[in-house]
């Protein structure tokens, strides 16, 4: 793949990572999670290509 593709991909993924972490941290603070474990799912789509990618996992709040 081209350098332009790699750079645009990395920029997008960095934005996803940073903004998602900020949103999750804020939601967990507001919920006062107390060590509870939550199911989490991220979905990335490229509608024009008919592509959907899902990643599922768990996040445990702080005590």
With contact defined as beta carbons under 8 Å apart, do 39 and 24 qualify?
Answer: no
pTM over 0.75: yes
Q: What is the mean pLDDT of each run of 10 residues along the chain (63 residues)?
A: 93 96 93 88 97 97 82
Q: Show me where the domains of the chain are located.
A: 3-60
Distance CA 2, CA 43 (A): 25
Tally Cβ neighbours within 10 Å of residue 12. 11
**DSSP state string for 4-58:** HHHHHHHHHHHHHHHHHHHHHHHHHHHHT-TT-EEEEEEEEEEGGGTEEEEEEEE
pLDDT at 58: 96
pLDDT at 14: 97
């Amino acid at each position: 793949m081209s350098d332009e593709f790699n750079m645009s991909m990395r920029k997008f993924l960095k934005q996803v990572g940073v903004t998602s972490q900020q949103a999750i941290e804020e939601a967990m603070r507001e919920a006062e999670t107390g060590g509870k474990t939550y199911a989490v799912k991220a979905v990335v789509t490229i509608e024009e290509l008919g592509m959907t990618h899902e990643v599922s996992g768990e996040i445990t709040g702080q005590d």
